[in-house]
Chains A and B, each alone.
Chain A
Amino acid sequence: QQQVKQSPQSLIVQKGGISIINCAYENTAFDYFPWYQQFPGKGPALLIAIRPDVSEKKEGRFTISFNKSAKQFSLHIMDSQPGDSATYFCAASGGSARQLTFGSGTQLTVLP
């Protein structure tokens, strides 16, 4: 019930391409879905977040798409840049679970 499943484990994209990372959750009480970006040697940093009352949220080159009925959400990175190379984590919280439950992470490599 508390799991958040993330795929793919790793992703290689050419500069300028679109990176897509997917997550699925089971707990219908979850009501907050953030994405975090982590560079080596650093802590995860909040990138963008969405609540289930909207199906899409865009901030610059980053877009979250949310499908409540399928219990899935995804991160799209448009015009991917080498500087986007990092590990990306989806997460969820809500209901009795005040803490964030994280997906397993996706290591993104953007080739120049």
Chain B
Amino acid sequence: DSGVTQTPKHLITATGQRVTLRCSPRSGDLSVYWYQQSLDQGLQFLIHYYNGEERAKGNILERFSAQQFPDLHSELNLSSLELGDSALYFCASSVALAGAGYTFGSGTRLTVV
């Protein structure tokens, strides 16, 4: 157990729907990063939050949004889902602002049908 908790582990939904993925960081970690892992794109950085504030955006679609709450858990919202959004979504946390010492969760496998 890495200490980073992601729920749900699996999610199957239809095109056009909206889902919310949840991440609880390791105790004491202030940074949360979201990544999308697909077979053809590898691990793609989506967004970074630090202590409740958005710090960086990567290749995140406008249909996707995220937030980090006062208790430091984070949610990734995916809307108007398309078949191509099917992927593993990972969050990682770290204690610092910079990228050292990431700890990843086990991921949420999203299947859009």
> In the docked arrangement, what's the CA distance between A36 and B100, Å?
12
Closest Cβ of chain A: how far from B96's Cβ, in Å?
Answer: 9
Q: Which residues of B contact A62 (CB under 8 A)?
A: none
Q: Which residues of B contact A99 (CB under 8 A)?
A: 33, 45, 48, 56, 58, 99
Number of interface residues of B (CB under 8 A): 24
CB atoms of A45 and B45 under 8 A apart: no
Q: Which residues of A contact B86 (CB under 8 A)?
A: none
Q: How many inter-chain contacts with C-beta < 8 Å in the A-B complex?
A: 63
Which partner residue on chain A sits nearest B58 by CB separation? A99
Q: Which residues of A contact B106 (CB under 8 A)?
A: 41-43
Which among A18-26, A52-60, A72-80, A100-108 touches the partner chain? A100-108
> In the docked arrangement, what's the CA distance between A37 and B99, Å?
17
User: Residues of A at under 8 Å CB distance from B?
Assistant: 32, 34, 36, 41-46, 49, 89, 91, 93-94, 97-105
For the A-B complex with A32-B100, A42-B106 known, give 10 more contacts whose Cβ atoms are closer than 8 Å.
A32-B99, A34-B100, A43-B4, A43-B92, A43-B104, A43-B105, A43-B106, A98-B48, A102-B45, A105-B42
In the A-B complex, the 3 residue pairs with the closest CB atoms: A93-B99, A43-B104, A102-B43
Q: List 6 A-B contacts (CB under 8 A).
A: A36-B102, A91-B99, A93-B99, A99-B33, A100-B45, A102-B35
